[in-house]
Amino acid sequence: MLRADQVLTDPVEMLAYECDAYTIHKGRPDVVVHPESTEQCAAVVRLCARMGVPFTPRGTGTGLSGGATPLCGGVVISIMRMNRVLSVSPADLRLRAQAGCINSTITRAAAPYGLHYAPDPSSQTACTVGGNVAENASGPHTLKYGVTANHVSGLTVALPDGSVVELGSDADEPCGYDLVGLCVGSEGTLGIVTEVTVRLTPNPRQVRTLLAVFGSVDDASRTVSRIIALGIVPCALEMMDSIIINALEDAFAMGFPRDAQALLLVELDGLGPGLDAETAAVRDLCSEHNARSVSAAASEEERARLWFARKQGVGVLGRVAPNKVTQDGLIPRSRLPEVLARIRAIAERHSVRLCNIFHAGDGNLHPCVIFDERDPDELRRVLAANEEILRLCVEVGGSITGEHGVGVEKRDAMPLMFSEADLAAMRRVKAAFDPAGLCNPGKIVPEPSAEAVPA
């Protein structure tokens, strides 16, 4: 079935597979395997099914909610070696790849045709497209171009009984129940995606990238709300606060003003005509909301440098504190100024250090709480502040997660958003695919509460 070099059993070698980038919960795998094809992957799953052993799919472990954590032990099925681009059809705007193919590899394969793969999470040079499918990943440019679910038309899936099924196709629309749509975002709990057919997006002909510097977070967030309300659709609209700005300065000497309270990175793209007028409108809005300065990237290198800063903005917090928890709450965009103020108040009340770097345009907040887990009192305060922030997002009509997934991190917060009837329906859908409950157990949906279980 597998060669010896595709199987890890050494406890030291398996340490890296105990969690993903969400490190608070861990689980020890009994064995880690590296299949190289759909057939090998399905054979491992069949063996697990026959022996009643739980299994957990894993990409490159960049997930932020513990989706790849083997909570119940068993087999971790790594798709890292299933990393080939299988075909590119530029005229049909399609590319087929193995699920372990790195996100940015897909864009590189599409680049000679003037195309790219639109979902662009910050981890895009490391994360796999299979992981993106599992989490319904998005990124800064999904504000205009949509999330992974909008860019996947077909999947090959090893189902939890070890059979292999093709879902969807390279055609644009589903037929029958939209099982591709269901599997995208199912966090590897309905089966293991082994191959993916993605939609490619033509590269924009022209791009304008603006950096606006603000003296207050309030002014920056009001600017965001106003841009959206006026019907301008930038392809990206990102905000970073002063802790992030200073961490980036310490690490990379970007040249950002250290006394700024917020930066807005606004990108607009299009065919060319009319783009300058739209860019001018955004500049004016920034100025009307007291931006200290608004500058445009003068070259592709300058633009790439700004995006480098944005995408390193979370990772660089490692310089500020040993640990961080990145939240992923989602709120209606018009509530941004109010919610950011309330989040600041929560952080102050719990005496935790909190910074913000997030997709402002779609209301997807990423408050990062930075801490030292060796201090148990600080850890307790961090977890309390986290829960309060999640409750706030739900209270204003939002969601506990916009793109990181529920995983194990937010599993027990699901009842904040969903009734027991909603959760029971999700459990039944899970059981429809995985009646034995062996496929990535313990994720997304909490066990029924004691009072909800019939006597």
Partner 1 sequence: MSATRPDMAALWPFVADRPPAEVVTPASRAEAAGEVSRALRHGLSIVPVGAGMRLAEANLMRGVEWLAIDMTGMNRVLAYSPDDMTVVVEPGVTAGALQSALAEAGQFAALGLGSRPSETVGGLVAANAQGRRQCAYGLPRDQLLGFRAALSNGEEVRFGGCTVKNVAGYDMGKLFCGSHGTLGLITELTLRARPLPPVCSTLSPAAPSLADAVAAGMALHLARLLPTCLAATHGVGTALTVEFSGGSDTVAWQIEQARRVAAGCGMQAEAATPPEVEPSPPAIPGPGVAWLRAATVPTALEGLCRSLEPCLSRAAAHVAVGVLEAEVTLREPLDDIERRLFAAGCRHLRWTRLPQSERATRDAWRVPAAQLPLMRAVKAALDPACAFGPGRFAGRI
428 is an interface residue for partner 1 by CB under 8 A: yes
Task: Give dist(CA 192, CA 183) in Å, integer.
Answer: 10
Selected range binding partner 1 among 259-267, 294-302, 312-320, 429-437, rule: CB under 8 A: 429-437
Q: Which of 35, 313, 405, 442 is close enough to bind partner 1 by CB under 8 A?
A: 405
Selected range binding partner 1 among 74-82, 293-301, 332-340, 447-455, rule: CB under 8 A: 332-340
Q: Which of 45, 133, 247, 330 is close enough to bind partner 1 by CB under 8 A?
A: 330
List 314's β-bridge partners, or say none: none
Selected range binding partner 1 among 37-45, 221-229, 251-259, 304-312, rule: CB under 8 A: 221-229
Task: Give dist(CA 60, CA 151) in Å, integer.
Answer: 21
290 is an interface residue for partner 1 by CB under 8 A: no
270 is an interface residue for partner 1 by CB under 8 A: yes
453 is an interface residue for partner 1 by CB under 8 A: no
Beta strand 75-78 with 367-371 is: unpaired
How many chain residues are in contact with partner 1, going by CB under 8 A? 88
The beta strands (E) that lie in 90-144 are given as 94-98, 115-116
Q: Which of 11, 274, 376, 454 is close enough to bind partner 1 by CB under 8 A?
A: 274
432 is an interface residue for partner 1 by CB under 8 A: yes
Task: Give dist(CA 4, CA 2) in Å, integer.
Answer: 7
Provide the 3-class DSSP secondary structure of residue 202: strand
Sites for partner 1 among residues 336-395 (CB under 8 A): 362-364
Sites for partner 1 among residues 56-95 (CB under 8 A): 89, 91-94
173 is an interface residue for partner 1 by CB under 8 A: yes
Q: Where are the alpha helices (DSSP H) in 350-411?
A: 376-395
CA dihedral defined by 405, 120, 23, 369, rounded to 10 degrees?
-90
Q: Which of 430, 438, 439, 442 is close enough to bind partner 1 by CB under 8 A?
A: 430
CA distances (Å), origin 186, targets 76, 119, 128, 340, 370: 17, 17, 15, 29, 29
14 is an interface residue for partner 1 by CB under 8 A: no
Burial category of 449 from C-beta neighbours within 10 Å (exposed 0-12, middle 13-18, buried 19 and up): exposed
Length of the chain as a residue count: 455
400 is an interface residue for partner 1 by CB under 8 A: yes
**Which amino acid is present at 433?**
F
20 is an interface residue for partner 1 by CB under 8 A: no
**Which amino acid is present at 217?**
V
List phi, psi (to 5°) of 75.
Answer: -105, 130
Selected range binding partner 1 among 24-32, 96-104, 366-374, 402-410, rule: CB under 8 A: 402-410
Q: Which of 73, 181, 257, 337 is close enough to bind partner 1 by CB under 8 A?
A: 181
424 is an interface residue for partner 1 by CB under 8 A: yes
Sites for partner 1 among residues 125-164 (CB under 8 A): 135-136, 138, 142, 146-147, 149-150, 159
